[in-house]
Amino acid sequence: MADHNSNNPKNTNEVSDPGRRSFVKNTGIAVGGVAGGALLGGLFSNRSKNDSNTNSTAGKGSDKEKRYEEARMYFTRLADFAILEQAVERIFPEDDNGPGAIELGVPYYIDKQLAGPYGSNVGDYRQGPFIGPKVAAADSSLDRGQIFINGLRAMDAESQKRFDTNFAKATEDQQIEIMTDFADDKVAVKGISSKGFFSLLRSTTLEGAYCDPLYGGNRDMKGWKMKEYPGAISSYAHMIEEDEFVKMDQVSLTDYQPK
């Protein structure tokens, strides 16, 4: 079980880099390198006919089969996890191509990553001095878990200030407005720039959508199925000379483990 002290990050006096970058440009880099066409048409677009958010799993019952492995390990506050759910769904929304981040289990992937060595930056050089503007996560004195807590709560505070409602209950357009300003570095976040937090949030969202299910994301390999990516194939030798595209069933690393 993770040490949850990181859910109460210390305040810092570090100043964010005032530089700004187009949100669309930022997102396009990640899409081109990681997500491909499945994300291009859907990123930050509205999915519902109305502006209400009804796809959150936090604190809600479900008619679907209960997944006992999907339990919060790092986020001790349900409110923080609800913000995370809505944020990742705005980055990777459900559309005609397939499921969105929530259905793919991305929030739980991030939760499990933050509960482990990744969240506390184990193995990273963590000694100061920490001087100058903290643009990226690697430049901050906070570990990744603390950055997520600070960033998500800053998004919620911004929603309360602008729209007098929690981020998780805000409309999709309102959520997108806030997240766009985070990507453009227009919002103050303790210990890191809002742009740096958004970059970390975006990269972990894409990881959760396309990772091997072994790591807690890409539920039922649906992320791979959208892209017709076969997964952990041990060899392509038997089809390397094929002229036509060969569609294969998806294979996870788990399939190689004896049972």
Asked if pLDDT for residue 114 goes beyond 90, the answer is yes
Mean pLDDT value of segment 221-229? 96
pLDDT at 5: 47
- pTM: predicted TM-score of the whole model, two decimal places: 0.74
| pLDDT, averaged across the chain | 81
DSSP the chain: ---GGGGSPPP--PPPP-----HHHHHHHHIIIIITHHHHTTTT---SSSS------TT---SSPP-TT---SS--SHHHHHHHHHHHHHHS--BTTB--TTTTTHHHHHHHHHHSTTTTTTTS---S---S---SGGGSSS-HHHHHHHHHHHHHHHHHHHHSS-GGGS-HHHHHHHHHHHHTT-SEETTEEHHHHHHHHHHHHHHHHHS-GGGT-SGGGHHHHHHT--BS-S--TTTTT-SSPPP---B-GGGGS--
Q: Where are the domains of the chain?
A: 4-229
